A and B are shown apart, each in its own frame.
Chain A
Amino acid sequence: MRNSLAVTAPPASGPPIDPGSVAGGPRRHRDDRRVAWLFLAPVLVGFAVFYLYPTVRGVWYSLTDYSLLNTPSYVGADNYTKLISDAQFWTSLRITGYYVLVNIGTQTLLALGLAALMHRLTRSVVLRATLLLPWLVPNVTVGLLWMWMLDTNLGFVNHLLSAIGGEPQGFLQNSDLAMPSIALINTWAYTGYTALLLYAGMLQIPPHLYESASLDGAGEFRMFRRITLPLLRPILALVLVVSLIGSFQIFDTVAVTEKVVPVGATRVIYLYIYKQAFTYFHMGYAAAVAMALVLILGLLTAVQMWLLRASRSDLT
């Protein structure tokens, strides 16, 4: 309303001027300032209460002894000293690292292959939607589904194994197989999604490159190595980092399957923080472990931002 007044009735003093440029200028500044807070109010409230405040409090917790029931009492760097010498913390990091390696390794390779196949064969939307289905399903469901598929006696995978003459395996009950099995379960859940991201990147590659290469007699593998891979590299790197950050935060699948896996075999960092906080009520210590995770993910995010900038200048 204020704006409309300014536009329809320019100030009586002074010559009539274009309302959009000069007269509107300073007036619009003043008006925006007031109206901006209305636009921003809900988001700023949500941000202050559930992002900013808890971030500050989280840092504070990590310096305190806090059990949810007492008032946090300052203990300096005690939690961090404990962290350095906590074998379970290092074990959980190692387990997480192993998980991430198997998960991201298989997922990225499979997704790259799948994206390349789609890129060279079909533009079908139905096909892409189908591949996206596992990603849309809750991870809890994914965990349950595969607990059943991998069941020692009745699971589909063991039916298959027996059919080809293999021994039935307790994939999740075996302490050597549990973590890689869960990593592959999540590979199943995220490969389609990752492939679609890479596929979207491949669509940005000018098609005429393939046409002329094919006229020159280049085969598909050669084109993949010489055209697709180099031109996709920025996107691939970006997708890789985003998946890495996600993979480090594995929780749901591990939490659901925890009932059947050997004790501690899949205690990843997220689960360790969760247990410290909500099973043992070591809130302060849990916050310190979470700080370590912040550090690791912060480094990865820094790499991501750097890549994002690099990819922008490369492709657009």
Chain B
Amino acid sequence: MTRRFRPGRLLAWTLLIVFIVVTILPFYWMVRTALTPAADIYADSSGIVPKHPTMINFWRVLGLVDEQKARDAGGSGAKINFLRYTLNSIIYSGLIAGVQTFCCAMAGYAFARLRFPGRDLLFGVVVAALMVPPIFTLLPNFSLVRSLGAIDTFAGMVAPTLLMTPFAVFFLRQFFLSVPAEVEEAATIDGAGRWGIFWRVILPMSRGPLITIGLTTSVWAWKDYLWPLLVGRGEDNRVLTVALGVFLQQSPNTQPDWTGLMAASTLSVLPVLLLLIFLGKRLVQSLNFTGIK
């Protein structure tokens, strides 16, 4: 029987490998281009590694070489500082993920475990907001942030998602519902108040789901484009995605600065690659329940 299965299994493995190659190939091509000198881009398009590998494209998009050198290496001469943008992106997604997860954990716990009038109605209203597409609230939110004079400020960028998303509240409430009530009862008998129970008993035992939702939120914020594009266009607050768009716009249409663009793209992939390497297992295993909202 095993023999009869062999050709089929071989074909199946081949298909699976094709999927993996197609997944990885564009990333490989991106890195290869980033390591190629701009002058070589026409001539040097075959071969696994570039003929004259160089780091200059990275240095120039990071703003680490002077303008003349950047221009010589294929830059347009426009000022770009991806070191700044990468830091902005890290702060943007880190701050939102941290604060939002904590606030939503408190609320999720309250909705799951505390008793107060109107609880289920309130929760229903929050969850109903899941049905409103982001673009619908984006228009009035932009108008609001604008009237507060917060366009092009970091505060304006993080404000709408800093404290909560309906999904995070929903997700964490689901988890807290599954925590056995005995755990809290034991702590209550030991003399802990609600806050104490939450802080010392519930939070430590919820590390897994908290990390999961924190990771999901940070990835989501890392990918975020439309809102930062509207509210954080300026040099100081620009995140990676917005900066990539601006970089492309500034690049001439006839001959885009591909080596520079790919170096900058690589910078936007590196942190998620690290995330995947260190926390890939958790991320992959959590997918079955965060994915289906």
Contact = CB atoms under 8 A, between A and B. Distances in A.
Contact of A192 (B23, B122, B189): B23
Interface stretch (A83-91, A93-101, A174-182, A284-292): A284-292
B86 to A, nearest CB: 12
A73 interface: no
A31 B195 CA distance: 11
Given A117-B12, A131-B19, A136-B276, A43 B163 contact: yes
A196 B136 contact: no
Interface in A107-142: 113-114, 117-118, 120-122, 125-134, 136-141
A173 to B, nearest CB: 11
B284 A121 contact: no
A141 B224 CA distance: 11
Interface in B133-159: 133-144, 146, 159
Nearest to A252: B225
A104 interface: no
Interface stretch (B53-61, B103-111, B204-212): B103-111
A58 B136 contact: yes
B160 interface: yes
Contact of A293 (B20, B133, B272): B133
Contacts of B114: 32, 35-36, 39
A308 B291 CA distance: 13
A154 B43 CA distance: 10
Contacts of A39: 106-107, 109-110, 114, 194, 198
A270 B116 contact: no
B146 A43 contact: no
Interface residues of B, number: 105
Contacts of A298: 131
A114 B19 contact: yes
A217 to B, nearest CB: 9
A294 B141 CA distance: 17
Contact of B268 (A52, A133, A138, A201): A138
Given A120-B12, A128-B284, A293 B135 contact: yes
A138 B241 contact: yes
A46 B20 contact: no
B16 A54 contact: no
A260 B258 CA distance: 14
B163 to A, nearest CB: 3
A141 B109 CA distance: 37
B82 interface: no
Given A45-B163, A54-B144, A129-B280, A4 B193 contact: yes
B197 to A, nearest CB: 9
B29 A51 contact: no
Interface residues of A, number: 108
A277 B23 contact: no
A20 B268 contact: no
A147 B98 CA distance: 34
A29 B107 CA distance: 17
Contacts, number: 310
A210 interface: no
A297 interface: yes
A125 B144 CA distance: 45
B140 A61 contact: yes
A29 B194 CA distance: 12
Given A43-B163, A146-B26, A188-B22, A249 B288 contact: no
A24 B193 CA distance: 12
B173 to A, nearest CB: 11
A252 B136 CA distance: 16
Interface string B250-280: 0001000010011001001100110110001
Contacts of A283: 139, 143
Given A43-B104, A51-B129, A61-B140, A197 B287 contact: yes
Contact of A33 (B27, B117, B137, B281): B117
Contacts of B201: none
A205 interface: no
A39 B106 CA distance: 5
Given A51-B166, A140-B244, 19 more contacts: A35-B114, A35-B194, A39-B109, A39-B198, A57-B143, A125-B281, A131-B20, A132-B280, A133-B23, A136-B272, A137-B268, A146-B26, A188-B23, A191-B19, A200-B287, A249-B134, A251-B225, A290-B136, A290-B139
16 contacts: A20-B185, A35-B114, A39-B107, A40-B107, A42-B107, A47-B126, A120-B12, A130-B24, A138-B244, A140-B223, A151-B258, A193-B291, A220-B8, A239-B292, A251-B225, A259-B248
